[in-house]
Amino acid sequence: MLVVDLSRALAGPHAGMMLGDLGARVIKVERPDGGDDARAWGPPFLTAPARDGRPEETVSTYFLSANRNKESITLDLKDAADRELLTELIRRADVLIENFRPGTLDRLGFDPGRLEELNPRLVLLSISGFGHDGPEADRAGYDQILQGEAGLMSLTGADAGSPQKAGVPIGDLLGGIHGVVGVLAALVERERTGRGKVVRTSLLSSLVGVLAFQATRWTVGGDSPHAIGNQHPSIAPYGAFRCADGVVQISVGSDPLWRTFAPLIGVDPEEERWATNGRRVADRDALIAHIEGVFAASTRAELLASLGAAGIPAGTVRTVDEVFEWDQARSQGLALGVHHEVLGDLTLQGGPLRMFDFDGTETGRVRHDAPPLLGEHTEAVREWLAV
């Protein structure tokens, strides 16, 4: 599969990277004057020394997070010759990714009708901020703005008066992930029909689409939820609890688990005020206070050992550096080694999917390429296209 990636920043590039991880050839098309916006997002930056006629340049660690397994070419889409090269790429492509503002691709001469004329089998993935139609389609869509507009920030934070964004650009990432789901479905349909499809998603739809039980709490139950910190709004005890040297997290997600957990904190599981999940949720503050009073005498390690032995789901709160030093994360391929053209050996976060044959043999992409330098593959792609 050939994927032509016109996108920049994070949502579209993340989609392109996922398709590259799955084995597609991904050609990333960038502006000659600086390339993808994310190349300038930092610090931190790494320094790529001058070599082979290339000047010294800085490499954004942000860019490195979303662009592995891609080739980079530079094109000025206002230039007729470069648009002709893009036209030839589109003729050969299976998938085209773009996250311009709605209408931008049309103004460049590549509206859906023209794309279908060039390549009837093409799957076009378009990712926008607020959607491609509707009264606010023209608004610029940046992740944190959409986290607020889509309701996510009202659910995240210590309380209703302290809205908080997620620690990663989750709207961008979900937009890319949902885009890939749509692309794969369109490619499957193409096997039956022989024709491509336009796939559209947005940061708004991706975020609203994962509000999950918080959405139906309002749409069905008439109860508008708000942030309550690190506790679950519908299950108790479920969340983060202070102990002697930090925080542990527990998930007592059923009444059978409660009957196992209660004796560990000196409580009769049939005690009336906490006997059912509904009663525990209603009396959450008192329950939290009791649990933290018991946990105050023990360290995280001691609690995780005793909870684990009892079969109570529990965990700690790791920092990012601790995650990448964790044997379990490494066992899942989540610390990925690549060799960068000028930076040398790097460790990137690995992809979330693994493929196996039924005999247990791991398959899929076995070699991963580091994110490319700006325009690193321009000449090679031009020669391949003979344009």
Domains of the chain: 2-210+365-385 (3.40.50.10540), 238-318 (3.30.1540.10)
The tens-digit pLDDT sequence of the chain (387 residues) is: 999 999 999 999 999 999 999 999 999 999 999 999 999 999 999 987 777 777 777 899 999 999 999 999 999 999 999 999 999 999 999 999 999 989 899 999 999 999 999 999 999 999 999 999 999 999 999 999 999 999 999 999 999 999 999 999 999 999 999 999 999 999 999 999 999 999 999 999 999 999 999 999 999 999 999 999 999 999 999 999 999 999 999 999 999 999 999 999 999 999 999 999 999 999 999 999 999 999 999 999 999 999 999 999 999 999 999 999 999 999 999 999 999 988 999 999 999 999 999 999 998 888 899 999 999 999 999 999 986
Rounded distance between C-alpha atoms, residue 180 and residue 68, angstroms: 16
Q: What are phi and psi of 239, to 5 degrees?
A: 160, -160
pTM of the model: 0.93
Q: Is 364 left (phi over 0), alpha (psi -120 to 50) or beta?
A: left
- 247, 300 contact by CB (below 8 A): yes
Q: Which of 215, 225, 218, 204 is nearest to 150 (CA)?
A: 204
What span, in angstroms and rounded, lies between the C-alpha atoms of 383 and 387? 7
Burial of 215 (0-12, 13-18, 19+ CB in 10 A): middle
SS3 301: helix
Positions annotated as catalytic residues are 172
